[in-house]
């Protein structure tokens, strides 16, 4: 635990419950009743109050942030903002290259390391006028040892990982949004623990240029935010540089999709259900009852097809781990070769798994993944998405691990869009409702249904 963790005021109210989205805040910038610089200063006051106990950041550049906010303020006065992100304070996960700040990847091997260039996503944000406040803490290479970050609702608990600092900073109300990455569960899980909206888009939705590589099949760049519309604004800017999914995201300026009530949702318990506490299970069941009362049909394991999918989800967790191990073996070996004592045990475990695999086995795993994606598309065609818990309960106590990935990993393997919606509470702590789509259904529909669920189920609670 951070030495100053006791200084963190608790319980901290979720910022999204008391503060409008940045997208709505821009109206005040346009009419002159507020400015991006004044907005930033309010956020920095929050940072000064909470960061000593939170440890969400590994590097801050407040002078550069203030200068960028001043330039944004001038553009709003002149009526020429650059984009829907102009002036938005944003954090960048510390496995993403930044030319003007260190990129240390949660590893002593990269202490003080500075790149001569920035990642494509950082360039896109800066060209859109976003205000980069700093680099947010990550686990080691987004795969190994946990960092020092605490959960904003309870400093004795993990914020999740590997996008630890991004989720904690957003959950504490320091930032409206931050970039995260997910290879197994690293956006959806910390967002669930920290009471934030976490969106892992379709695989290939955003350029991964300049993002620390782990697994080409599994790596995703995504967003953690206080509000869905702010995540959407970031996504449309990042997608403007080109994206690979069958249904690419629209470009900047496209309004967030209107909320849509789903006709039918597939309820999944996932392999994480066995490790979920009774209160959190009851919370999920209560949410399903709320949905039924709203006229949403719920398809569950009583249907043979859903029961078969639940069995596939168990296998998917193992398939994803082995794909991850094989595809990450070369970069992880290069770190180990710098000194085995310089890398954590989880990275060594991945390398050990890879040492017992072959290229033929990897190809078979990818073939299984393709079949899994087809099965999701078949069932997805008869519904408006899949729902599950975003994590197997609220954040666990302790900072030396970042929680189970068993609720999230299947959708990373499938490369299909998923998100954690901050509408549940269990034992007085945040718990996300996970909404997932099929691989070919696209992200816009996911966001539209997520918007409706966010409105109807906000802060459903079982204590």
The question of whether 2 is a catalytic residue gets the answer: no
Of 19, 18, 373, the residue nearest 202 (C-alpha): 373
Of 378, 374, 371, 370, the residue nearest 299 (C-alpha): 378
Q: Are 239 and 202 in contact (CB under 8 A)?
A: no
Q: What is the DSSP string of 10-50?
A: SSPPPGGGTS--HHHHHHHHHHTSS-HHHHHHHHHHHHHHH
CA distance 201 to 421: 14
CA distance 231 to 331: 30
CA distance 167 to 421: 13
The question of whether 73 is a catalytic residue gets the answer: no
CA distance 196 to 152: 11
Residue of 23, 43, 84, 93 marked active site: 93
Which residues touch 177 (CB under 8 Å, ≥6 apart)? 22, 88, 90, 91, 170, 223, 224, 225, 226, 230, 231, 234
Which residues touch 216 (CB under 8 Å, ≥6 apart)? 327
How remote is the C-alpha of 136 from its chain's centroid? 13
Q: Are 162 and 211 in contact (CB under 8 A)?
A: no
Helix (H, G, I), strand (E, B) or coil at 301: coil
Q: What residues pair up with 177 in beta bridges, in sequence order?
A: 90, 225
Q: What is the 3-state secondary structure (H, E, C) of 215-283?
A: CCCCCEEEEEECCHHHHHHHHHHHHCCCCCCCCCCCCCCCCCCCCCCCCEEEECCCHHHHHCCHHHHHH
Residue of 107, 163, 186, 404 marked active site: 186
CA distance 295 to 68: 47
Q: Give the H/E segment covering residue 165.
A: helix 164-171
Q: What is the dihedral of CA 288, 291, 297, 303, to 10 degrees?
A: -10
Structure token digits, residue 46: 């929050």
Q: Are 147 and 105 in contact (CB under 8 A)?
A: no
The question of whether 200 is a catalytic residue gets the answer: no
CA distance 207 to 281: 37
Q: Could you give the C-alpha distances from 52 to 42, 102, 169, in angstroms and in order?
A: 17, 20, 12
Residue of 73, 107, 162, 243 marked active site: 162
Q: Are 88 and 130 in contact (CB under 8 A)?
A: yes
Greatest distance between any 2 Cα atoms in the chain: 63
Enumerate the active-site residues. Answer: 93, 162, 186
């Amino acid at each position: 635990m951070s030495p100053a963790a006791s200084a963190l005021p608790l319980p901290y109210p979720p910022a999204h419950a008391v503060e409008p989205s940045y997208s709505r805040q821009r109206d005040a910038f346009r009419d002159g009743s507020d400015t991006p610089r004044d907005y930033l200063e309010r956020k920095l006051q929050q940072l000064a109050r909470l960061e000593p106990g939170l440890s969400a950041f590994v590097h801050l550049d407040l002078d550069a942030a203030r200068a960028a906010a001043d330039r944004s303020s001038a553009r709003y006065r002149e009526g020429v903002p650059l984009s829907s992100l102009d002036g938005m304070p944003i954090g960048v996960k510390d496995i993403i290259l930044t030319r003007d700040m260190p990129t240390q990847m949660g590893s002593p091997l990269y202490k003080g390391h500075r790149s001569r260039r920035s990642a494509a996503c950082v360039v896109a944000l800066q060209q859109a006028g976003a205000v980069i406040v700093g680099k947010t803490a990550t686990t080691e290479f987004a795969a190994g040892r946990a960092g020092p970050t605490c959960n904003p609702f309870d400093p004795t608990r993990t914020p999740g990982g590997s996008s630890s600092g991004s989720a904690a900073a957003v959950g504490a109300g320091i930032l409206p949004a931050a970039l995260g990455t997910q290879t197994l569960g690293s956006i959806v899980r910390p967002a669930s623990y920290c009471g934030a909206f976490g969106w892992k888009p379709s695989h290939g939705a955003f350029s991964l240029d300049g993002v620390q590589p782990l697994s080409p099949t599994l790596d995703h760049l995504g967003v953690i935010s206080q509000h869905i519309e702010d995540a959407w604004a970031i996504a449309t800017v990042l997608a403007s540089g080109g994206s690979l999914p069958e249904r690419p995201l629209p470009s900047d300026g496209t309004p967030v999709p209107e909320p849509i009530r789903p006709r039918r949702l597939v309820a999944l318990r996932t392999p994480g259900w066995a490790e979920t506490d009774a209160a959190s299970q009851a919370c999920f069941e209560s949410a399903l009852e709320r949905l039924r009362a709203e006229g949403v049909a719920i398809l569950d394991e009583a249907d043979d097809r859903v029961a078969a999918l639940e069995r596939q989800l168990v296998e998917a967790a193992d398939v994803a781990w082995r794909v991850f191990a094989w595809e990450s073996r070369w970069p992880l070996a290069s770190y180990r070769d710098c000194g085995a004592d310089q890398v954590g045990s989880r990275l060594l475990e991945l390398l050990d798994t890879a040492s017992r695999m072959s290229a033929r086995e990897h190809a078979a795993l990818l073939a299984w993944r393709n079949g899994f994606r087809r099965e999701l598309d078949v069932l997805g065609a008869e519904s408006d998405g899949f729902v599950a818990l975003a994590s197997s309960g609220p954040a666990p106590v302790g900072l030396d691990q970042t929680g189970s990935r068993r609720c999230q990993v299947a959708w990373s393997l499938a490369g299909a869009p998923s998100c954690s919606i901050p509408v549940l509470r269990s034992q007085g702590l945040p718990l996300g409702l996970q909404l997932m789509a099929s691989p070919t259904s696209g992200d816009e529909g996911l966001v539209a249904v997520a918007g409706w669920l966010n409105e109807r189920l906000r802060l459903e609670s079982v204590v």
